[in-house]
Structure 1
Amino acid sequence: MCATEKAEPESNTAQEETGCYCHCKTTARSQDERKKLMNRLSRIEGQIRGIKGMLEKDAYCNDILIQSAAVSAAMNAFNRELLSSHIHSCVVRDIREGKDEVVDELMATLQKLMK
């Protein structure tokens, strides 16, 4: 579930300490949800390292492109999972609390994801 927006941090150090780099909002996730998302990102990170290795070994362009497409598909799956969670928790909660601006925020996010 999303936390409410916090005041502007005084410095970058405050951001680093809280892990906040964007809008100073946080989302509390269950350990299971966090683990699932982290595992997905770790697999994607491994795919990226594999592509880098392919480049270092002068692999055939088409083979690299196929792996790159696989990374894009994996990122899209990660984004769908996170977006679903966001809508079911943060967005629903904010709408119930009368914070209709969350719909504009969601639409802006969807526009970025659909580029």
Structure 2
Amino acid sequence: MLKHVSFVTRDLAATLAFYVRLGGVVEKDLTTAEGYRRGVVRLGEGRLQFFEVPGEAPAPHLHWAEHIALHVSGLRALLPEWRAAGVTVSRDLQPSPGGRDMAFVLDPDGRQVELLESGL
């Protein structure tokens, strides 16, 4: 199940205002522990997440910021199966900020996909 899609933006306030005009509701507008501004907009059941990165292009260390996030069941069991099938694990199993299991993998085109244990 889709949790959110995440993008980098140069101007978080303008980006949030744009999606509010489209009917979105701002759920979060905060500064992360790493010092990035982060905003989350709910559009119906889905969410868009944005990280504000000033400048022309995202810094290489922010490769994780643009990603698709999915809730999955049984992540601890699935991750070794996917790894054995050749899926690249770009960020190994660890606790999410909310305490659930989380990992990042790459899709066939190299896009980051966050996998978050749904607990279902």
Tell me if TM exceeds 0.5.
no
When normalised by structure 2's length, the TM-score is: 0.23
Q: Which of the two has greater helix per residue?
A: 1
Q: Which of the two has greater strand per residue?
A: 2
Flag the structure with larger Rg.
Answer: 1
